[in-house]
Amino acid sequence: MLKGLIFDFDGLIVDTETVIYETWADLYKQNGQILELADYKQCVGSDFAQFDPGKELEKRCGKTFDWNTLNQEREITIREKLKTQKERPGIISFLDEAKKIGLRTAIASSSSKAWVVGWVERLQIKHYFEKFLNRDDVKRIKPAPDLFLASCKALEISTSEALVLEDSENGLKAATAAGIQCAIVTNKITEGGNFSDSVLQTDNFSDNTLIGIEEVFDETTESFFLYLKIFS
């Protein structure tokens, strides 16, 4: 029986990923290069272990950059553009519904705890989540399963009693590695990815499309899992 939901943060609850990608794309453009979204997606939801846009730019340009200065400039731009950013449409209604039926909730993010908690406090949605697991809490971040396994432990539920909500391929890989069902809600950056292992894929939490949440019995696995009835 489903007992808990584990949410990613960046790109799922708040679309921070589009702005972050745009700052990298602008930097590439300033240096006569194009940052292909397909390349950048490799690091979405994770870190730069699989794809480092800074190292890639240096490789293409054949020179080194002053990353302390450039990253400070990027951070200023990111914070300025995100100053008025809100949670994704429909997420509040979704969380209200989840709480109404008694599901436990956690956020599991590869970002820092200060970043995530700062956001949920500013948006006044912290009370929707019981636990916060971040890169500071585990040895390995996504696509490793550590964050999701730690979240289940914190919520005191088994992996078969959880559903992960993600927006990225790295997030789905992490959930799959943890043995947890995963539903995907994409954004502009992650749409078009390979999400064949997910139980469901959509592109929004909109009130017009989110019909409700219910438990569905899967006779094949003889277990309960959450099914999101979402129609375009």
**Tokens read off for 190:** 């992650």
SS3 66: coil
Cβ-proximal residues to 182 (8 Å cutoff; 6+ apart), any chain: 163, 164, 165, 166, 171, 172, 175, 176, 197, 198, 199
Active site residue 218: no
Q: How many residues does the chain have?
A: 232
Active site residue 203: no
Question: How many Cβ atoms from other residues are within 10 Å of residue 194's Cβ?
Answer: 10
- Catalytic choice (8, 15, 146, 167): 8
Is 148:178 a contact under the CB 8 Å cutoff?
Answer: yes
Counting beta carbons within 10 angstroms of the beta carbon of residue 49, is it exposed (0 to 12), middle (13 to 18) or buried (19 or more)?
exposed
Cite the active site residues.
Answer: 8, 10
